[in-house]
Amino acid sequence: MLFRSVNIYNNEFYNNGGDASVRFLTCYRSRVHHNQLFDGQNMSAGGYGYGIEFDEATHFCSADNNFSSNIREHTFTNRTRYCTFSNNIMTGHYDTGFNTHGAGVSHCVVKNNIVNGTSIGAGIAVGYGTHTGGDSYIDVEGNSISNTASLGISVNAPSGQKNSNIRVANNRVYSYGLVSATSHGIYCNYSDYSEIMNNTVQGVTNNAANGIYAKDSIEVFINGNRVRDIPNGYGITVDNLTEGVVTNNRITDVSSYNIRCLNSSTSTICAHNDADDTSNLFLSGVTQRRNSWNIFTGSATYDPPSLVDGAGTTTTVSVTGVAVGDFARASFSVDTQGITITAWVSATNTVSVRFQNESGSTLDIASGTLKVEVVSG
């Protein structure tokens, strides 16, 4: 039987010891909103004390503007599709704030929710639970997650199973790992063709092992994230990632490696990232392009001699960290009047700069500041 146009709102639910306080089974175009749910029972036994549950191919339904405290979790499961979970507030949940259960859930949105406090689980979990089928096309966006027992946001699957096309964007994750010894702000495992974009992750606790950890997946795009305050771990870790991209991220105040590459992630590209400690990296085999630690600069005052047409002169600028084969370019602070300037790394820590006059006349340009930039990798 298909139920449609069900509207559940402005109710209070207490002490649920069964499956869920509100459960949609095979529902269509229905909504649960502006309810309050408190104090689930038997939560540690599993299968009890849930809040809102969409189940059995529920389609085009929404749960929004609800408040819950001290329940197990809210969940979409068993082929739920085209549904939204938005603008809800969750405090002190036993397991997770919200969970898709890895049961063929697809084309759903988890957006603009607040999760504060879990006892054993993550703030928001995708593909986490029974995992009878991979979840796909799930958007987790604009949520605020804090004080979780383990992970902030988990996108996970067991070995041999896969999620796909999961988007985690514009979320704020703060203070995770209050219980579990090894926790990650955003965790992506066995989840291909996924995106982790424009999130802010702040670890704070000593159990924060990684800000972002992407593992055993294909084509994961990690872009524009801000990771900071990891007192006992790593900023971003990629582990056995195939054709991953790590770009435009900012990592600060991390105790160990800012970006770390493990176990055959050599097809991953790491580009245009910035870190406050550019020596704190482990990127063996990764293709690197214009990260802050790949860009070296130097300058010197230089007064070129008078050069007749066809003549040139070469000088050097010391730049620590550069090596032969790195890309180099130079500029001069005064008008060169047609003299061309060419730069190259001629030896370790040394950039040579050639001033060449092919103007057709003798030129004697003034003294100025010679600046060089070198991009390694």
- Work out how many domains the chain is built from and give that number: 2
- Let me know whether 221 and 140 are in one domain: yes
Give the domain-ending residue among 266, 289, 312. 289
- Phi, psi at 254, each rounded to 5°: -110, 135
- Let me know whether 263 and 336 are in one domain: no
Residue 163: is it exposed, middle or buried by C-beta count within 10 angstroms (0-12/13-18/19+)? buried
Res 280: pLDDT: 63
- Let me know whether 208 and 252 are in one domain: yes
Res 275: pLDDT: 87
Among the listed residues 337, 327, 332, 330, the one whose alpha carbon sits nearest the alpha carbon of residue 353: 330
Q: What is the pLDDT along the chain (377 residues), one digit of tens a residue?
A: 578 999 999 999 999 888 899 999 999 999 999 999 999 998 888 778 999 999 999 999 999 999 999 999 999 999 999 999 999 999 999 999 999 988 899 999 999 999 999 999 999 999 876 666 789 999 999 999 999 999 999 999 877 789 999 999 999 999 999 999 889 999 999 999 999 999 999 998 888 899 999 999 999 999 999 999 998 899 999 999 999 999 999 999 998 888 888 887 778 888 888 888 766 666 666 677 767 777 889 999 999 999 999 999 999 999 998 999 999 999 999 999 999 999 999 999 999 999 999 999 999 999 999 999 998 86
Do 210 and 182 touch, CB atoms closer than 8 A?
no
CATH code of the domain containing 189 = 2.160.20.10
- Measured between its terminal Cα atoms, the distance across the chain in Å is 61
Res 291: pLDDT: 77
Res 130: pLDDT: 61
Give the domain-ending residue among 289, 320, 350. 289
Res 377: pLDDT: 63
DSSP string for 182-223: SEEEEEEESEES-EEES-EEE--STTEEEEEEEES-BS-EEE
Residue 108 CB-half CA count within 13 A:
35
Structure tokens at 320: 């620590």
Three-state DSSP at 6 gives coil
Res 47: pLDDT: 79
Give the domain-ending residue among 289, 319, 339. 289
- Phi, psi at 43, each rounded to 5°: -65, -35
Res 283: pLDDT: 67
- Let me know whether 311 and 280 are in one domain: no
- Let me know whether 88 and 71 are in one domain: yes
Q: Name the pTM for this structure.
A: 0.84
Among the listed residues 293, 222, 224, the one whose alpha carbon sits nearest the alpha carbon of residue 257: 293
Three-state DSSP at 290 gives coil
Res 205: pLDDT: 85
Q: Please tell me the distance from the alpha carbon of residue 205 to that of residue 207, in angstroms, as a whole number.
A: 5
- Let me know whether 147 and 233 are in one domain: yes
- Let me know whether 125 and 194 are in one domain: yes
Res 159: pLDDT: 74
DSSP string for 13-59: EE---SSEEEEEESEES-EEES-EEE--SSGGGSS-SEEEEEESS-B
- Let me know whether 68 and 11 are in one domain: yes
Among the listed residues 106, 132, 35, 104, the one whose alpha carbon sits nearest the alpha carbon of residue 74: 35
Q: Which domain holds residue 152?
A: 3-289
- Let me know whether 57 and 123 are in one domain: yes
- Let me know whether 239 and 321 are in one domain: no
- Let me know whether 144 and 29 are in one domain: yes
CATH code of the domain containing 348 = 2.60.40
- Let me know whether 19 and 116 are in one domain: yes
